[in-house]
Amino acid sequence: MYRYLFFDADGTLFDFEQAEHHAFHSMARDLGLSVQNDHFLQYKACNASCWKEFEQGALTLEELKTKRFERFSETSLFLLDANRASQSYQNHLAGQGILFGHSLLILSTLAKRGYTLFLATNGIAEVQRGRLKESGVSHFFKDIFISEELGWQKPDTRYFSAMLERSNLLGEKSHCLMIGDNPESDIRGAMDSGIDSVWYNPHNQALPPDLEATYTVTRLETILDLLAAPI
């Protein structure tokens, strides 16, 4: 029986696509850039490549913050100060606490049923904590685990070990459940750490053959049918 629920943030509870879009265009206004949607897509590609290199150990998090804007400058041919762009973007992103429509209902219902809720997210601490504050949902979580603060990021098993150790749940894995949308960071991380998982798969994608989620849902509200009050 599950008692402890670890929720991923972006793509699961938080609408990161909208947050990223708003922050990018606000950054562009700050820097006086006349951008179109193609420029946003270029930035997303640069950002994704930097995060991949960070996960592989080729970039530090500090390097990532500016490198993505250096690459965007090269790709888009905009002349911009990468440090200034990075700070502006992070400031605006930290103010984007945009939740999906299902999030409040799910969190409030599970809290009322007696589950202990945690948030387990990768990302920059300043940004993630700002977004949490703006969203107004921090009070649902007993603890909040952000990769920059832990020193490791999902799917690294050291992230999950640190999270469980801080929660005093290393011996309670059978009562823990990881809920997230990312097959790699959420599902692989949970699987490698011996924790059951719910894969939120709204686009009906195929799970990589070497991964196995305990449960798969296309609508996150479905977990309310799965998770009755814990015993």
Q: Is 10 a catalytic residue?
A: yes
User: How many C-beta atoms lie closer than 10 Å to residue 138's C-beta?
Assistant: 13
According to DSSP, the residues that pair with 176 across neighbouring strands are: 4
Annotated active-site residue 8? The verdict is yes
Distance (Å, whole) CA 102 – CA 118: 17
Contact yes or no for 195/173 (Cβ under 8 A): yes
Residue type, 142: K
Q: CA 10, CA 48: separation in Å to the nearest integer?
A: 14
**CB half-sphere exposure, 209, CA atoms < 13 A:** 0
Contact 70, 79 (CB under 8 A): no
Which H/E stretch holds residue 121? strand 116-121
In the sheet that 141-146 helps form, which strands lie side by side, from edge to edge?
Answer: 141-146, 116-121, 4-7, 176-180, 196-200, 215-217
User: Which of these is catalytic: 8, 15, 156, 186?
Assistant: 8
Cis preceding-peptide flag for 183 (omega within 30 of 0): no
Work out the angle between the directed axes of helices 61-76 and 37-55 (0-180°, nearest 10). Answer: 150
Q: Which of 10, 15, 156, 181 is catalytic?
A: 10
Q: Which residues are catalytic?
A: 8, 10
